[in-house]
Amino acid sequence: MVGNGGREHTLLWKLKADSPSAEFFATQPNGGMAALAEGVEIAPGDTEALAGWAAARSIDLTVVGPEAPLAAGIADRFRNKGLPVFGPSAAAARIESSKSYAKELMRGAGVPTADFRVFRELAAAQDYIREQGAPIVIKASGLAAGKGAIVCDREEEALQAVREMLEDFRFGEAGREVVVEECMRGEELSVFVLTDGREFLTLLPSQDHKRVGEGDTGPNTGGLGAYAPVSLVNPGLMQEVEERVLLPTLRALESDGSAFQGLLYAGLMLTHEGPKVVEFNCRFGDPETQAILPLLASSLLEPMATIAEGGSVSDLTARWHSGGAVTTVLASQGYPGSYEKGKPIHLPPSLADDPNLFVFQAGTRSSGDGLVTSGGRVLAVTGIGDSLADASRKSLVGADAVEFEGKYFRTDIGWREFARDEAGRP
């Protein structure tokens, strides 16, 4: 397992459940992963060293969690050594690592998305913003750890955002090119597909909460919670997503010589004109993975291994547990801005006694004195219930029980779903 965040802990947990007798290894594992896998003290981004290590040990399957190693070509290095790896090539990973590439690809393939322009020069970007007005969205084209998209309700905010990216280099190289696009309105939906490049296996759609504040207010984060399933999703909507978004995108990547093999994540906006793409990612989402995988009754290992070995997923299906899942992320005080690390964490033993409660660790590490915080998003608590309301209660009880100084979490994950319940749907 390449990576050591909450997504990787969850993937490792599921793969371990799928194959309890297998031997697992993880790169610089966090405090939760260390109990499931033997640690490999090679950084997730050291692609050459990891490929050599895996080749020396004849590793059967490597799963790459984060986007940065994929963008750096880790899957290419592994395949060149004849090693089965789950994750797209660097060329295919441009669907995430270059928002300008993704937008141009969608434009060429006729995939519905927001109108946009790409800029490298500040004056031209600001002229365009003044011409378009607000609300408007400013995005760093490169990888910015989920924080490079800024929704600007006022023109002044947008002008400042592009200045910070193109002149102050707020996001470094990731922001040297920016995408300025129309602000779409509606609810967001995360759709994951396991794909061999042509065929795909769709996982349970979910909805995440990127804003730091209750009611989806404040700055964007990497994600402070997620839930599944989403009641807005029906067979007709999914058919539209598959036919208008997923299939043409996969075909366009293949035609571009960048066939995508791995997990393709479509972040959608459900607008009054139908689903439109907000962004694509080349890997599992975090924290959606923590909500989706506990509901997956069938194997994740089987389709992953099939794709990594060059096979087809056309005959594979996914089975799901009934009920719902709600994931609450516990963050360090100050996130997504600056925050302190090294705060002791107390996980009550009673949390492990509930089979419908899961604690997935992210920004944690083991020290001589026990578990301490090491990141902005520290851990995620997922509750499973017969209903989303029941799952939410379990998640919040677990979130309350975890202790560390400066702990912050939202109490309203899934609030739109609950509002629909109260309003009598839809």
CATH number at residue 72: 3.40.50.20
How far apart CA 348 and CA 212 sit, in angstroms, is 26
The Cα–Cα gap between 37 and 15 comes to 11
Tell me, what's the pLDDT at 357?
Answer: 97
Residue 334: enclosing H or E segment and its boundaries?
A: none
Rounded CA separation 328/409 (Å): 7
pLDDT for residue 40: 97
| 413 and 353 co-located in one domain | yes
> What is the reported pTM?
0.94
Q: Based on the domain organization, do 39 and 79 belong to the same domain? A: yes
Q: How far is 280 from 97, CA to CA, in rounded Å?
A: 9
CB 295 within 8 A of CB 356: no
SS3 state at 178:
strand
Integer angstrom CA distances of residue 22 from 8, 17, 31, 113:
17, 10, 20, 42
Whether residue 414 is contained in a domain is answered as yes
Nearest to 17 by CA among 36, 33, 40: 36
**pLDDT at residue 367, as a whole number:** 85
Distance of CA 172 to the CA centre of its chain: 21
Cα 409–29–8 angle (5° rounding)? 60
- Is residue 208 within 8 A of residue 268, CB to CB? The reply is no
- The residue type of 36 is L
- Residue at which a domain ends, from 136, 152, 182: 182
Three-state SS string over 88-146 comes to CCHHHHHHHHCHHHHHHHHHHHCCCECCEEEECCHHHHHHHHHHHCCCEEEEECCCCCC
Residues 55 and 130 in one domain: no
Extended beta strands in 172-222, E state:
178-182, 187-195, 200-202, 207-208, 211-213, 217-220
Take residue 264 and report the two structure tokens written for it: 């393709």
Which pLDDT does position 175 carry in this prediction? 85
> Pick from 52, 70, 88: which residue ends a domain?
88
Residue at 378 is within a domain: yes
Gap between the Cα atoms of 63 and 84, Å rounded: 9
Residues 6+ apart with CB under 8 A from 72: 45, 47, 90
Quote the CA–CA distance of 305 and 301 in Å, as a whole number: 6
Asked if the structure places residue 80 within a domain, the reply is: yes
Residue 288 exposure: Cα atoms within 13 Å on the Cβ side: 24
- Give the range of the structural domain holding residue 356, as residue numbers without chain letter: 324-423
Neighbours of 315 (CB within 10 A): 9
Q: Which residues of 126-136 are buried (b: 16+ CB within 10 A; e: fewer)?
A: beebeebebbb
Pair (70, 159) in one structural domain? no
Domain count across the chain: 3
Q: Which of 130, 162, 182 is at the close of a domain?
A: 182
- The conformation of residue 258, written as its DSSP 8-state character, comes to -
Check which CATH number belongs to the domain holding 166 and give it.
Answer: 3.30.1490.20
390, part of any domain: yes
Cis peptide bond N-terminal to 355, omega within 30: no
Cβ-Cβ contacts under 8 Å for 338 (sequence gap 6 or more): none
Let me know if residue 166 belongs to a domain: yes
- Please indicate, yes or no, whether residues 81 and 133 belong to a single structural domain of this protein: no
Residue 143's pLDDT is 86
Whether residue 188 is contained in a domain is answered as no
Q: 3-state DSSP call for residue 70?
A: helix
Give, for 251, the enclosing helix (H) or strand (E). Answer: helix 247-255
Instruction: Please check whether residue 122 is in contact with residue 113, taking contact to mean a CB–CB distance below 8 angstroms.
Output: no
191 located within any domain: no
What's residue 422's pLDDT?
77
- What pLDDT tens digit does each residue of the chain (426 aa) get? 999 999 999 999 999 999 999 999 999 999 999 899 999 999 999 999 999 999 999 999 999 999 999 999 999 999 999 999 999 999 999 999 999 999 999 999 999 999 999 999 999 999 999 999 999 999 998 888 767 888 999 999 999 999 999 998 888 888 889 999 999 999 999 999 999 999 999 999 999 999 999 999 988 888 999 999 999 999 999 999 999 999 999 999 999 999 999 999 999 999 999 999 999 999 999 999 999 999 999 999 999 999 999 999 999 999 999 999 999 999 999 999 999 999 999 999 999 899 999 999 999 999 888 999 999 999 999 999 999 999 999 999 999 999 999 999 999 999 999 998 776 655
Judge whether 155 lies within some domain: yes
